[in-house]
Structure 1
Amino acid sequence: MKNTIVGVDLAKDVIQVCITKRNKVLSNKEMIPSEFSAWLATSNSATIVFEACSTANHWQQLAHSYGHDARQISAKLVANIRQNQKTDKNDALAVAQACSLPEVKFVSGKTFKQQELQSIVRIKELSVKHKVAVENQIRALLLEFGIRTPTKGSIVNVVELTLEDADNGFCDELRDSLAIAFNGYLDLVGAIKKYESALERVANSNADCRKLMALEGVGPMNAVNLYMLLSCGEMGTFRTGKDASACVGLTPIQHSTGGKAKLGSIGKHIRNHSMRSVLVSGAMAVCSQVKRRVPRTTKETWLKGLIERRGMRCAAVALANKTVRTAFSLLANDTEYKAIPVAS
C-alpha cells in the first residue's frame, strides 16, 4: 500500500474509512470498530490519518502497533477542507485530502502514559467545578435567609452552625437537604485533595516533571500539564518554544496585511484555557512574592522591573510565556534549570 493515504472519521459506533492513492479514491466505506481493528491488523503499511477526537489516541496507538504511519489532524482543518454537506463519507475524504496539503501540521497525539495523566487532570478539574458550583449555591441559599458566609473563607463553620441552630426556624426537610448538599461538598473537597496527591506522586516520580518543577511558579499540576504538552506535542508538533507558548495562548494575536504587523491581546478563545489559567496563576504567585522583596536572581530583576512598568497581570502572563519556552528548552535539550543569582 505504498503512497496510500487512509482518511478515518471516528464515531462511537461506526468508523468511516476512505482509502486514496495518487489522489484517487479507491474506497470509502463504513466499518464497525471490530472490523476496523481487523483491517488494521491485516493491511499493508499505509499512512493513516485520524481526525483528532476523543478516541483518536487509542486508534493511533493501535495503528502504530501494526506498523502503520498513524497521524492525527485538526478537526478545524478538516471542516475547512470538507466539500458539500457534512456526512461521514465527506468527512473521511476531507481527512485524506487535508493530509496532502503542503506544510500541514499534524497533532502528535498522546502515549498511553500521557492519557493516564490527562485523565487524572480532567477528573480533578471536573471535581473543582462541581465543588465551586455547590459552594456558591450553598452561599446563595443561606444568604436568602440572611445568613452570610465569608467571601474568601471556608463555608464549613457557618454551615455547621446553621445545621446545629435549632432556633433558626428551618424545617427538618430543608435541614436534611442542606446537610446532604454540605456532605457532598465535603466529599468533593476530600476528592480534590486525593487527586492533587496523586498528581504530586506522579510528578515526583517522573524525571522530566522534576526538572520542570525547578522553574518559578511550577508545581506538580503545572509540571504535569507542561510534560503532557511538550513531551509529545499535545496540540501540535512544536519546533520552537515560541510555537508551544503561542499554542497555549500566551503570545499576542498577530494580524498582518500589506507588510504591516499589528499585535493584539493574548486572546480569550484558545484550545486549552485551563492550562493557561494554572500557568498564569502560578506566575501570579511568583509576582506577588517578587513585588514585596529584593530580587535574588536575574529573572526576578527582570520580573520586578516589568511589574513596575506594566503591572502584575501583564508581568504574570509574560512570566508564564517565559516558563513555557524555558520548559521546552529543558525537555528538548535534556538540561537542568539553574537560576542565575544577582551579582553582589
Structure 2
Amino acid sequence: MSKITITGIDLAKNIFHLHAVDSTGRQVKAIKLSRLRLSEYLHRSEPVTVAMEACASAHHWGRLCQLLGHEVRLISPQFVKPFVKSNKNDRNDARAICEAAQRPDMHFVPVKTVEQQAVLSLHRVREMLIGQRTATINQLRGLLTEFGLTAPAGRRALHNTIPAMLEDLMNISPTFLVSCIRQQWEHIGELDQRIDNVTSQIEMHARQSDVTRRLQTIPGIGPITASALEAYVGNATQFRAGRQLAAWLGLVPRQHSTGGKPVLLGTSKRGDGYLRRLLVHGARAVVATVRSSPNVQKQDKTIMGWVARKHMNVAVVAMANRNARIAWAVITQKRNFDRNFRDQLANQLAAT
C-alpha cells in the first residue's frame, strides 16, 4: 500500500468521512468513522498532512492533530466548493478537501489557540445578547404603538419615558398586558446587566494583553475592537502585508475587470462581518470627530480629503481600511502606533 501523505476529513457531529491520498494524489483510503474511531485513528496513524474545512469544531480537531504531530491545513469552505465533483455528499466533500489542500496557491486558516477561541466566545455571547436586547426593545415599541403610545428614538429615550407610558397603558388596557409589558422591560434591564458583565470581562482581558494595549493606540480602535482583532488575527504572520489583512476583512472594493479594463464595485464584505463592523464603527467615530473639530490637525488632513472628495460612508470605509493596515503593522512590528512616525523616518533619511 502506498504511503499516505495527505488526509482530508469532512467534519460533522458524529460521523466523519476521511479521504487519504499518496504523494502522487492517488486515493489510498476512503472510510467513514465515528467520533471516537476518528480520534483513535489519528492517534495510531503516522504524522501526515491533515486537511479540513474551517468550520465548526475545526480548530478543536486542528489542535488535537497538532498535538499528535500532524501538519494541519484548514481551508475556507468557499475554496473547497470548486473541487467537489459530481453530486455533493460527505464522501465527495472529503475528496474535495484533500484535492484543495494539494494546490500550491491555496490559502490556509491558522489554527486558533484555546485562549483565542475563549475570547471569541465572549464576543459571540455579547453580540447575541445585544441582538436579543434590540429585538426586545423593537417588540416593546411595536406593542406600545398598537395602543397609541410612541417613544422617542433611542434606547436611552425609551428608558426615560417607559414609566410614564406604563401608567398611561394602565388606563387604556387590561392589567395582564401591563404586567407583560413590565416583564419585558425588566428583561431588557437583565440583558443590560449581562452585556455589561461580558463587556467587563473582554475589557479586563484587553488590559492584560500587550497586543491589545498597543492596538488601542490607533485612533478608532478601543478595547472591544482590539480584543477581537487579537483573537481573530493572532500574530498576523499569515498575512504578507497590511493590505492583505484589509482584503481578508472585506474592506476593499469588489473587482469585475475584463479586457484590460479595471472595474471596481462596492465593498467586498468578505471575511468576518463582526470584526469588520467594529472597525467601521470605530472609523465612523473618528471621521465624525474630525469633521466637527474646528482645528484640523496635520494628521487629519487625509481624512478631510476623503470627506471632501467622497461620500461620508466611503470615507468611513477608507478609514477602517487604513486602521486594519496599521493594526497589521502594530502587531507584526510589536510597537505602538505613532502619528509622526512617517515624518520622523523622512527626516532620518534626509539626514543620512
Q: Normalising to structure 2: TM-score of the pair?
A: 0.91
Segment drifting more, 334-343 vs 25-34? 334-343
* 1:254-313 deviation per Cα after TM superposition (whole angstroms, max 9, x unaligned): 22222221212114x533222222211111111111112213342x12112222222432
1:240 is displaced (CA, Å) by: 1.3
- Is residue 212 from structure 1 mapped to residue 252 from structure 2 by the alignment? no
Say whether residues 1:141 and 2:143 are aligned partners.
Answer: yes
1:75-224 alignment, distance < 5 Å: 75-152=77-154, 153-165=156-168, 167-224=170-227
- AA aligned opposite 1:178: I
Q: Which residue of structure 2 aligns with residue 258 of structure 1?
A: 259
The answer to whether structure 1 residue 35 and structure 2 residue 37 are counterparts is yes
Counterpart of 1:192, as a letter, is: I
Identify unmatched segments of 5+ residues in structure 2. Answer: 344-352
**CA 1:341 to 1:37, structure 2 compared with 1: closer, same or farther past 3 Å?**
closer
Distance 1:177 1:166, change over 3 A: closer
Q: Is the 8 A contact 2:15 2:34 kept in 1?
A: yes
Which residue is 1:307 aligned to?
307
Cα distance in 1 for partners of 2:171, 2:341 equals 60
**Residue 20 of structure 2 aligns to a residue in which SS?**
strand
Instruction: Give the match for residue 21 of structure 2.
Output: 20
Structure 1 residue 167: Cα displacement: 4.9
For the 8 Å contact 2:76–2:108, the answer to whether it is kept is yes
Q: 1:272 is matched by which residue type in structure 2?
A: D
Which position in structure 1 is the counterpart of 2:350? Answer: none
Q: Residue 230 of structure 2 corresponds to which residue in structure 1?
A: 227
In 1, the alpha carbon distance for the partners of 2:229 and 2:26 equals 41
Separation (CA, whole Å) in 2 of partners of 1:52 and 1:341: 38
User: Cα deviation per residue 1:228-273 (whole Å; 9 max; x = unaligned)?
Assistant: 232256xx93211111101111111122222221212114x53322
The letter for the 1-side match of 2:317 is V
SS at match of 1:26: strand
Residue deviations 1:190-230 (CA, integer Å, cap 9, x gap): 11111111111111111000000000110011101221232
- In the alignment, the residues of structure 1 paired with residue 41 and residue 169 of structure 2 have an alpha-carbon distance, to the nearest angstrom, of 69
Q: How many pairs does the alignment contain?
A: 339
- Cα 1:97/1:167, change in 2 over 3 Å: closer
Amino acid at match of 1:139: R
For residues 73 and 280 of structure 1, the distance between their equivalents in structure 2, rounded to whole angstroms, comes to: 27
Contact 2:169 2:178 in 1 (8 A): no
Conservation of the 8 A alpha-carbon contact between 2:170 and 2:178: no
Number of the residue aligned with 2:288 = 288
What are the Cα deviations for residues 83-115 of structure 1, in whole angstroms up to 9, with x where unaligned? 111111111111101111231111113111110
Higher mean alpha-carbon deviation, 274-283 vs 7-16, is at: 274-283
Bigger drift between 61-70 and 100-109 goes to 100-109
Q: Show the counterpart of 2:347.
A: none
Instruction: Give secondary structure in 2 for the equivalent of 1:44.
Output: coil
Secondary structure of the equivalent of 1:23?
coil
**Counterparts of 2:252 and 2:194, CA distance in 1:** 34
Residue 162 of structure 1 and its aligned partner are, at CA, apart by 3.1
Contact 1:279/1:320 (8 A) holds in 2: yes
Amino acid at match of 1:81: F
Write the distance in 2 (CA, Å) between the matches of 1:229 and 1:114: 7
| 2:54 aligned with 1:61 | no
Matched-pair identity in %: 30
Classify the secondary structure of the residue corresponding to 2:28. Answer: strand
Letter of the structure 2 residue corresponding to residue 90 of structure 1: N
The CA distance in 1 between the partners of 2:298 and 2:342, in whole Å, is 5
How far off is 1:181 after superposition?
A: 1.3
Are the structure 2 counterparts of residues 60 and 166 from structure 1 closer, same or farther at C-alpha, using a change threshold of 3 Å? closer
In the alignment, residue 206 of structure 1 is paired with which amino acid?
Answer: S
Q: Give yes or no for contact 1:213–1:223 (8 Å, CA) kept in 2.
A: yes
The 2-side partners of 1:257 and 1:206 are apart by 46
Query: Partner of 2:266: helix, strand, or coil?
Result: coil
CA distance in 2, matches of 1:79, 1:312: 37
Secondary structure of 2:309's aligned partner: helix
The aligned counterpart of 1:322 is 322
CA offset at residue 69 of structure 1?
0.3
Aligned-pair CA distance for 1:79: 1.6
Amino acid at match of 1:291: R
Q: 1:49 to 1:144 in 2, by over 3 A?
A: same
